Amino acid sequence: MQDNCLLQMRGIEKNFPGVRALGGVDFTLRKGEIHALMGENGAGKSTLIKILTGVYQMDGGEISLEGNKVSIRSPQDAQMKGISTVYQEITLCPNLTVAENMYIGREDSAWVKHKEYEKRAGAILDSLGIPARSSQQLGDCSLAVQQMVAIARAVDMKCKVLILDEPTSSLDDKEVNMLFDLMKDLKSQGVGIIFVTHFLEQVYEVSDRITVLRNGELVGEYLTEELPQVELVAKMIGKELDELSALSESEDKDHEAGEVFYEAKNLSSSDALPFDFSIRKGEVNGFTGLLGSGRSESVRAIFGADKVSGGTIKIKGDPVKITKPIDAMKNGIGYLAEDRKRDGIIAELSVRENIILALQVMNGFFKPIRRSEAEAFADEYIKVLNIKTASRETPVGSLSGGNQQKVILARWLLTHPDYLILDEPTRGIDVGTKLEIQKLVLKLAEEGVSVTFISSEVEEMLRTCSRLIVMRDRHIVGELKGKDLNQAQVMKTIAGGES
């Protein structure tokens, strides 16, 4: 085993201000294997990859390549040492030709030898069976082919370690198969491939080994054939050490009695496949599934945040049209986005301005909310939600993650929604605030607000939701309620019912 060991990472540590991204992770890659690196959001996969490719410098630990200790200083350095990465977003230049893309940045002469590059590139493309012409403009190729060109470049650089970071997320089935054939071909040539993806089926289709990370820690390394899908999911999601169980099972989560508030049939959007969904008044339900399973895309479709492409929607039995967020808001739907930095807060504006934002939009810009009124609203919610801020005029950007999240919650609560969608409201915030947000959700439900709650932490969803919709590979694969609402059942459904 020692002799075919290609890459060894031992005790890798990485800290960001206030966060421990990796705490002593080990990773081993052997020659001619496809090794899947798995983990949920924040597990540390991308940090580990970025250390390996020289984007980040590690704070502790060591890396050895074919038995020699190495330090990787920059992406260029990594490439020189034989570690190449193909990212989800293609990092080639679409305005250059395929051949130019394969040789740019690593030529030995000051002249661009078009003819020679095209000949050499053509030979490599042929040998790998990539359907592209070397003199073609790269931007004219499909995304899958562009990705393969990136791989061909790596191969031509005599790469020993090839990292594929979410390579399949924008490819269709046929293209995925083309990519897999190429991967298997490279594997037989002795290249070690690190495959990062969140599609479980694909992991089982091509990988030999799986390493699972969770919360910046190594969970373990397994042979793919010896690890059933259910166990893989369990290892990825893990069990919370539960300080939160105070929020007990005894709470009455069942609000079946309410009338149906929202109902969608065959709703689909640019990013979500058609699905049916309904929620009752005062009900808390959840969408679960691994990252990339379509859970966020589905709720974004409900809110009209992505381009809605079809389906019928009824609110309280009346047909309505929701294609833009403003439509949803006018119908009493609020949405707290998954990425609060990008879709939620406006960091430079004050707490007060952030809180009244949604209400102002609802009122229309010709009816400004009076300053005194806005201040009163802000003060009220700062108190109700216990937002820790120096004053209502403090820029939101200077608040902690949990308090930023509360500001956005306040923004939606102020519009008195009938239906509130919370996408990962507890991500990256401290345990105390998590608990407060969960309590708030239950309180809202008691007051008759319907809530859709999404979280990567299954435990958290089990505590708050009375119904869980399970998604896998962009399809709804199950709906759990009552006695089925337990961790084992959820994981089984996520993993696909095998074993």
Partner 1 sequence: MKKNTNVQREPLTDTQLLMTITICIFIGMYLLAMLFLGGGFLHAQQIFDMLNDNASLIIVTFGLTIVMIGGGIDISVGAVTSLVVMSCVLYLNNGGNLFVSVLLALGIGLAFGVVQGFLISYLEIQPFIVTLAGMFFARGMTTILSVNPQKVDHEGFARLRDSKIEIPWLGYVAKNGNLVPARIELGVIVALLCLVFIFILLKYLRLGRDFYAMGGNQMSALMLGINVKRTRFLSYLISGLLSGISGYVFMMHTGAGNATNAAGMEMNAIASSIIGGTLLTGGVGNVIGSFFGTMTLTTIKKIVVSSGLNDPWWQSITTGGMLCFFILLQSVVLGQRAKKKSA
Residues at the interface with partner 1 (CB under 8 A): 75-76, 79, 87, 90-97, 100-101, 104-107, 109-112, 114, 122, 126, 133, 135-137, 139-140
Q: By three-state DSSP, how is residue 399 classified?
A: coil
What end-to-end distance do the CA atoms of the chain give, in Å?
30
Please, what is the minimum distance in Å from the beta carbon of residue 113 to partner 1?
A: 9
Write down the least CB distance from residue 47 to partner 1, Å: 18
| Nearer of residues 76 and 169 to partner 1, judged by Cβ | 76
In the complex, minimum distance from the CB of residue 133 to partner 1, in angstroms, rounded to a whole number: 5
User: Cβ 104 to partner 1, closest distance in Å?
Assistant: 5
Query: β-pairing, 450-454 with 467-472?
Result: unpaired
- Closer residue to partner 1 in complex, CB, 91/486: 91
Nearer to partner 1, 2 or 109 (CB): 109
> For the packed helices 431-446 and 401-414, what is the interaxial angle rounded to 10 degrees?
10
Torsion sign (Cα): 224, 44, 42, 21: positive
Angstrom distance (rounded) from CA 395 to CA 404: 10
Beta-bridge partner residues of 350: 395
d(CA 489, CA 323) in angstroms, rounded, equals 35
Minimum CB distance to partner 1 smaller for 170 or for 398? 170
Q: How far is CA 337 from CA 116, 245, 299, 410, 427, in A?
A: 51, 26, 10, 13, 11
Parallel, antiparallel, or unpaired for β 161-165 and 83-86?
parallel
Nearer to partner 1, 135 or 394 (CB): 135
- Shorter beta-carbon distance to partner 1: residue 28 or 137: 137
Token reading at 360: 């102002």
- Least Cα distance to 344 among 368, 295, 364, 334 occurs for 334
Tokens in use for 316?
């309280």
Using alpha carbons, list the distances in angstroms from residue 13 to 129, 376, 427, 428: 40, 47, 22, 19
Q: At its nearest, how many Å lie between partner 1 and the CB of residue 80?
A: 9
- Rounded least distance, CB 89 to partner 1, Å: 8
Question: Whole-angstrom Cα distance, residue 152 to residue 168?
Answer: 16
Q: Compute the least distance from the CB of residue 45 to partner 1, in Å.
A: 19
User: Are 333 and 300 in contact, with CB atoms under 8 Å apart?
Assistant: no
| Residue number, 38 or 92, with CB nearest to partner 1 | 92
Q: How far is the CB of 44 from partner 1 (least distance, A)?
A: 22
Shortest distance in whole angstroms from residue 143 CB to partner 1: 10
Question: Rounded distance, CA 413 to CA 165, Å?
Answer: 38
Q: How far is the CB of 106 from partner 1 (least distance, A)?
A: 6
What is d(CA 290, CA 46) in angstroms, rounded to the nearest whole number?
A: 16
- CB-nearer residue toward partner 1: 111 or 365: 111
Give the Cβ contact number of residue 364 at 10 Å.
9
Residue 34: burial class (beta carbons within 10 Å; 0-12, 13-18, 19+): buried
Specify the residue, 10 or 114, whose C-beta has the smaller distance to partner 1: 114
- Residue with Cβ nearer partner 1 (143 or 431): 143
Please answer whether residues 287 and 233 qualify as being in contact, where contact means their C-beta atoms are separated by less than 8 angstroms.
Answer: no
The nearest distance, CB 138 to partner 1, in angstroms, is 9
How far is 33 from 207, CA to CA, in rounded Å?
Answer: 8
| Min CB(273)–partner 1 separation in Å | 20
Nearer to partner 1, 94 or 448 (CB): 94
CB within 8 Å of 223: residues ≥ 6 apart = 208, 209, 210
CA–CA separation, 314 and 322 (whole Å): 10
Closer of 146 and 293 to partner 1 (Cβ): 146
Cβ atoms of residues 334 and 415 within 8 Å: yes
Instruction: Give the pairing type, strands 318-320 and 475-481.
Output: unpaired
- Between 149 and 315, name the residue whose CB sits nearer to partner 1: 149
Provide, rounded to whole angstroms, the least separation between the CB of residue 417 and partner 1: 38
Contact 332, 419 (CB under 8 A): yes
